[in-house]
Structure 1
Amino acid sequence: MTRRAARLPIPDFDELPLTSVQHQIRALERDELIELIEHEHAHADRTPVLELLRARLEQLDQGADTSGGDPAAHSERPADTRTGSPVSPDAAAGPSGPLRHGRVSRTPERDRP
């Protein structure tokens, strides 16, 4: 992470999904949005993110208020997850063969070992 990226109004901005960006930018002022637009354009240049930032900037220019709060207080960056599955193979559905002509009565061996 560059020094400039560390000073962005939203921590881990480059790694956030669009929905997280959408919620966190509501608390930003106009100059902070412009800073994010410039950063995004110079780095990842994600079109949906740029459109979202520009739309919010336009809302502020038309008189919308910021939502308050601290966008840096809670980053929704995905945490590391455990590997593996808690599902047991015993809970899996049993094998099932295809229906012959789409009818159970024509497939007598279906679901039998």
Structure 2
Amino acid sequence: MSHPRRDDLPLPDYDQLPLGSLESRVRSLTSDQVETLLEHEKDHGRRAPATQVLSARLEQLRNGAEPTAGDPSGLRPEQGRAAGGSPVSPRTSAQPYNPPPHGTPDQRGKPKGDRF
């Protein structure tokens, strides 16, 4: 098998895909397409987790698994996340707490004996 070019890979932007979305995205590919990605990974990325995911999927396909419906160029899960922000709102946040400048709330600071 010849070395695949980046433009010929079955998943667009394969090299930029986070490993977390790779497993679900390769389920729609045929065994030839998974082999192409596996060869590309071994030649370029050499990411052990990606190689393991691709090898496992290739083995499943060789043992009779069928590609599932899906669009490999569809929206990636990592693109659907909200950008930044905190789930905490002013309504659910804790009350501000400012400790006293000396001592603790349970043990108040005591004046020195020679000062009044």
Q: Fold-level match, TM-score > 0.5?
A: yes
> Per-residue displacement from partner, 1:30-85 (whole Å, max 9, x unpaired)?
01011000001111111000000000011111111110232123345659x979x6
What TM-score, normalized by structure 2, do the two folds share? Answer: 0.66
| Residue ranges of structure 1 left out of the alignment (5+ in a row) | 109-113
Q: Highest CA radius of gyration, 1 or 2?
A: 2
Q: Which residue of 2 aligns with 1:64?
A: 65
Structure 2 unmatched runs, 5+:
110-116
Which amino acid in the other structure matches residue 34 of structure 2? L
Give the superposition deviation at 1:20.
1.3
1:55 alignment counterpart: 56
CA distance, structure 2, for counterparts of residue 25 and residue 7 of structure 1: 15
Instruction: State the partner residue of 1:5.
Output: 6
Structure 1 residues 1-113: aligned runs within 5 Å? 4-75=5-76, 78=79, 94=96, 96-97=98-99, 104-106=105-107
In 1: Cα distance, 2:108 partner to 2:18 partner: 48
What percentage of residue pairs aligned between the two structures are identical? 33
TM-score by length of 1: 0.67
Contact 1:12/1:77, CA 8 A, preserved across alignment = no
**Count of matched residue pairs:** 97
